[in-house]
Amino acid sequence: MLQRNDMIGPWAGLPVAWTPADTFDEDTYRMDVAKTCAAGAPGIYTAGTTGEFYATEIDEWTAITKATIDECRKQDTPVMIGITATSTRGAQRRAEVAAEAGADAVQIALPYWMALEDDEVVPFFEEVAGACPGLSFNIYETLRSKKALTLDQHRAIHEQVEGYSSVKANSETLGFSPEGCRQLSEFLNVWVGELAWCEFGPHGAIGAASSLIYMHPQYLLDMFALLQAQDWVELQERTDYIKKLKSTGMDPFRKKGYKDTAIDRLTGKASGFLSMRVQSRGPYASATDDDVAALRSWMEANTPKLIHS
């Protein structure tokens, strides 16, 4: 089982490669996974939001899971698989597959169709963890699940689920506040977006489910080194540099309705790192090759340090 000191840094939350026929492009995906491992990512995971878990059928999810684990094993890179589902049994089934295929960790959010009651929260995580004993457990906490966990609930899950070692905190959840981050960091690793490391690093944040590392791996790994060294001045300078891309550079594409995986793919393609096609799955708006060319041109003129050579 991975320990807390293994669940740190910018773990690469990779998108999935799709063919023009909208099927899993396994060869291209494997190439991107292998390239990200070789670039030094401290861990790889998929089947989060960027990995479009909500848009994959169980047979596709299984193929993606096995391909991810296989490529990571070749380079001895830790691997985490998202197992979020709309039911306990659905999450357990995915947990079983991930464990059997050799994953090191799983990531899971609360079921998101109907909000859970308070007394259903801890038993849900216990039952799912029981399907993958020995794996580390990362909770993807998001209000898309219609519920934010309390400190007491996090403590209870930590007591009942042996592998619960890290939480991916998002806006309006406990870990995405200075005091909440500090409280959770006493017994968990708190992950926030890399652009929030300066804000929450002083309160204990130590990782990220990264959608930026496959834009320019070394730039992000250098940022993590600054986080560990608590060099907040240099880290803020690097953060502000990326924020210029994420605000001004991405603004035309957000106005087109692009979000989450569409934005992440666009960034990774425009930087020159990802090999996969930029298209994501409907019904959500997808970026185009023309968008890639336009963003690449903007980056060359405004944020050249983020271009991957």
Question: Rounded mean pLDDT of 18-44?
Answer: 98
H helix or E strand, kind and range, residue 191 = strand 189-191
286: Cβ–Cβ under 8 A, 6 or more apart, which residues? 258, 262, 278, 279, 280
Q: Measure the CA–CA gap between 275 and 270, rounded to whole angstroms.
A: 10
CB 91 within 8 A of CB 108: yes
Handedness of CA 147, 148, 150, 156 (dihedral sign): positive
All domains in the chain, ordered by first residue: 4-228 (3.20.20.70)
Above 90 in pLDDT, residue 1? no
Question: Rounded mean pLDDT of 263-292?
Answer: 97
Q: Measure the CA–CA gap between 55 and 77, rounded to whole angstroms.
A: 26
CB 43 within 8 A of CB 77: yes
Above 90 in pLDDT, residue 33? yes
Question: Rounded mean pLDDT of 176-195?
Answer: 98
Which among 45, 39, 48 is positioned nearest to 11, based on CA atoms?
45
**Mean pLDDT (the chain, rounded):** 97
- State the pLDDT confidence band at 237, using cuts at 50, 70 and 90: very high
pLDDT one-digit tens code per residue, 91-105:
999 999 999 999 999
Share of the chain above pLDDT 90, in %: 99
Question: Rounded mean pLDDT of 24-48?
Answer: 98
Residue 309 has what pLDDT?
78
